[in-house]
Chain A
Amino acid sequence: MTAETLVQFLYLVSTALFILSLRWMSDPETARKGVFSGVAAMLLAVAGTLAGVAATGGTHYWWILGAFALGSAIGYPLALVPLTAVPQRTALSHAFGGLAAGLVGTAKYFLYYGQGNVAALSPFIVTALVAEILLGFLTFTGSLLAAGKLQEVAWIPQRPVTYPLQNLINLSLFILALGLGVALVLNPLAPWGPLAFGLIILLSLAFGVLLIIPIGGADMPTVISILNAYAGLSAVAMGFVLNNKLLITAGALDGSSGLILSIIMCKAMNRSFTNVLFGAFGQAQQKAAGGEEKVYKSDTIESAAQVMEQANLVVIVPGYGMAVAQAQHKVRELYDLLKKRGITVKFAIHPVAGRMPGHMNVLLAEAEIPYDDLVEMDAINGDMPQADVALIIGANDVVNPAARTDKTSPIYGMPIIDADKAKTVYAIKRSKNPGFAGIDNELYFLDKTFMLFGDAKAVVGELARKLAGEGGMH
């Protein structure tokens, strides 16, 4: 068996293991097997590559080993972040992935260019190279900015930043980059080649920033998914450049995952890709201000506890506010106390609740709430009229009935959790300000709704204390 056959065989097994790895993610029972299979696939891929490199007289092994060590030293602490920081960690990983692809593409171009290698710089390869660096570098800066926004880094604006002619400027930059790309495909060895290549890199870096800067927190789940897809596609492009089928397959798996998650997120907001990326959500809200003053009814925690005690079915609707307040463990206490009284407790999970797909599920799982009680929006909505209490913890837009009724609302048409159909609604809210989107939430002004103002963790903790205290007296 030649070295080459061995390498290809290892890649083949690795590809199969990657597919199985994702296949096993279909069920929480088998999901951990998926991780082991993924690790095995990656080890085989690296081993195969090193074997292939060795067979053709590679060099710099110590340096490569050092790079592995350094990467592991950076990566391991990143795996230990608190789960509320998972969205920014994910965005940061996309940035690393994009950077790696961009750098490899850059290295390959300059290598071939330096060699004057006409054959290697075929139109197909140069096209793939341009796609690789375009996607790689725009994912790099875009994801860094997204991570910064999610981490609430002080000098990065949280609110969507919009300016006149935004889309026109973005579009012209993109067309300019594409034009340079086409020129490069036609004349890869032109004396101005490296200059054009460098310009494409700069434009991609700028494009990543411009693409993310008008996007606000509520759109983050979609944006993170799209960046995920880009990172995967840049790996595919690298696979085309290197004619490596393993890279193409694994990149395509990642790309399709990002694509599907983006579609799910967009559907859950009733918006299109282009609307998320170019719609600048922030613009629609000006009209919301200046409406007539409406009055909230607030209630004491004691009476809320009493109402919950009498309930048969309590549905808890968590949102980003729960994550910010790190309230999930207190929520678990409340859940246990209600369960102990024979009350059915379910969690209604909206697909875009939080800052990334599945964010709420992970936080509640961390608090050891059994996943059988985490119910998807479509599955719980039928039961909402039977719910005695809907307890809303830091969620806002995902329970706003305006999405159903108000055609002028920016969130009109978005599927929501029908919290307003429950018999009584309690909403925990940090302040009286409107939610992220700056839209008034009609739910809060219904007759059956009572507000509990305060930090989610404190309020839920207090609720749990009241329930526990009264249990002791009986």
Chain B
Amino acid sequence: MIERTDTTALAGHGAQGPTPNPAGGGHGQLDVMGALFVFMLATFIGVMVIQRVSRLLHTPLMSLTNAISAIAVVGAIIVSAGKEAPTLITALGLVAIVCSTTNIVSGFFITDRMLKMFKKREVGGGVK
């Protein structure tokens, strides 16, 4: 037990050189089990929520989740903003920001564009 806590703490202090980034999460300390718990719970929530999505909307759903998975932008920003990083690494991060932003912008816009088109039959619109 104690041994395990020690190694996790070590992993956290491993970031001694570069300051631990709060956006990187936690206390700059790697909490493996915590991360796995979050993953497990989020997957269950995801499965339950998605199962209720109307089949009519599967195409917009996919473009919406496209935009959501562009959350990778968070990682890309953290990489790009690193001070000690060599230029090449910053460049990789910046390209990743461009890719993710493309998905965010096009994903949300096209989802909304498609959803606007889904209309219910008008009540009393000549159709019985």
How many chain B residues touch A (CB < 8 A): the figure is 104
Asked whether A356 lies within 8 Å of B59 as measured between CB atoms, the reply is yes
Interchain Cβ contacts under 8 Å between A and B, 19 examples? A22-B61, A28-B120, A35-B64, A46-B74, A49-B73, A68-B97, A68-B101, A75-B103, A79-B105, A90-B59, A90-B63, A100-B76, A100-B95, A101-B75, A103-B76, A119-B15, A249-B42, A359-B59, A366-B117
Residue in B closest to A374 when the chains form the complex, CB atoms: B56
A71 on the B face (CB < 8 A): yes
- The contact string, 1 if C-beta is below 8 Å from chain B, for chain A 343-385, is 0000001010000111101100110101111101000000000
Asked whether B56 lies within 8 Å of A242 as measured between CB atoms, the reply is no
Asked whether A53 lies within 8 Å of B77 as measured between CB atoms, the reply is yes
Asked whether B62 lies within 8 Å of A242 as measured between CB atoms, the reply is no
Stretch touching chain B among A146-154, A227-235, A271-279, A405-413:
A227-235
Asked whether B106 lies within 8 Å of A242 as measured between CB atoms, the reply is no
Shortest distance from the beta carbon of B94 to any chain A beta carbon, whole Å: 5
Please provide the 10 A-B residue pairs with the shortest distance between their CB atoms, ordered closest to farther: A119-B14, A71-B101, A52-B23, A358-B58, A256-B46, A75-B105, A58-B81, A79-B109, A4-B22, A252-B42
Secondary structure at the A interface, as helix, strand, loop or mixed, is: helix
- Give bound CA distance, A240 to B72, whole Å: 12
Known A-B contacts A57-B19, A249-B42; the reply to A72 vs B101 at CB < 8 A is yes
Stretch touching chain B among A120-128, A181-189, A392-400, A418-426:
A120-128
A67 on the B face (CB < 8 A): yes
Asked whether B24 lies within 8 Å of A243 as measured between CB atoms, the reply is yes
- Give bound CA distance, A108 to B65, whole Å: 25
Contacts of B17 in A (CB 8 A): 115, 117
* Among candidates B54, B85, B93, residue contacting A103 with C-beta atoms closer than 8 Å: B93
Asked whether A100 lies within 8 Å of B73 as measured between CB atoms, the reply is yes
A34 on the B face (CB < 8 A): yes
Shortest distance from the beta carbon of A89 to any chain B beta carbon, whole Å: 7
B4 on the A face (CB < 8 A): no
Asked whether A253 lies within 8 Å of B68 as measured between CB atoms, the reply is yes
A64 on the B face (CB < 8 A): yes
Residue in A closest to B29 when the chains form the complex, CB atoms: A243
Contacts of B128 in A (CB 8 A): 342
Residue in B closest to A55 when the chains form the complex, CB atoms: B22
Residue in B closest to A366 when the chains form the complex, CB atoms: B117
Asked whether B22 lies within 8 Å of A52 as measured between CB atoms, the reply is yes
Q: B-side interface residues toward A, CB under 8 Å? A: 10-11, 13-15, 17-27, 29-32, 34-35, 38-39, 42-43, 45-47, 49-86, 88-90, 92-122, 126-128
Stretch touching chain B among A169-177, A258-266, A296-304, A443-451:
A258-266
Known A-B contacts A89-B110, A244-B75, A250-B69; the reply to A61 vs B116 at CB < 8 A is no
Residue in B closest to A117 when the chains form the complex, CB atoms: B14
Contacts of A114 in B (CB 8 A): 86
Asked whether A239 lies within 8 Å of B35 as measured between CB atoms, the reply is yes
Stretch touching chain B among A37-45, A191-199, A455-463:
A37-45
A19 on the B face (CB < 8 A): yes
Asked whether B119 lies within 8 Å of A365 as measured between CB atoms, the reply is yes
Asked whether A75 lies within 8 Å of B121 as measured between CB atoms, the reply is no
Considering residues A26, A34, A241, A252, which has the most beta carbons from chain B within 10 angstroms of its beta carbon?
Answer: A252
Asked whether B53 lies within 8 Å of A26 as measured between CB atoms, the reply is yes
* Among candidates A228, A243, A250, A340, residue contacting B26 with C-beta atoms closer than 8 Å: A243
Shortest distance from the beta carbon of A318 to any chain B beta carbon, whole Å: 14
* Among candidates A29, A32, A45, A111, residue contacting B116 with C-beta atoms closer than 8 Å: A32
- Give bound CA distance, A186 to B73, whole Å: 29
Shortest distance from the beta carbon of B13 to any chain A beta carbon, whole Å: 7
- Give bound CA distance, A45 to B96, whole Å: 16
Residue in B closest to A57 when the chains form the complex, CB atoms: B83
Known A-B contacts A31-B118, A255-B46; the reply to A107 vs B79 at CB < 8 A is yes
A99 on the B face (CB < 8 A): yes
A257 on the B face (CB < 8 A): yes
Shortest distance from the beta carbon of B111 to any chain A beta carbon, whole Å: 5
Asked whether A35 lies within 8 Å of B117 as measured between CB atoms, the reply is no
Known A-B contacts A31-B115, A63-B90, A122-B30; the reply to A49 vs B65 at CB < 8 A is no
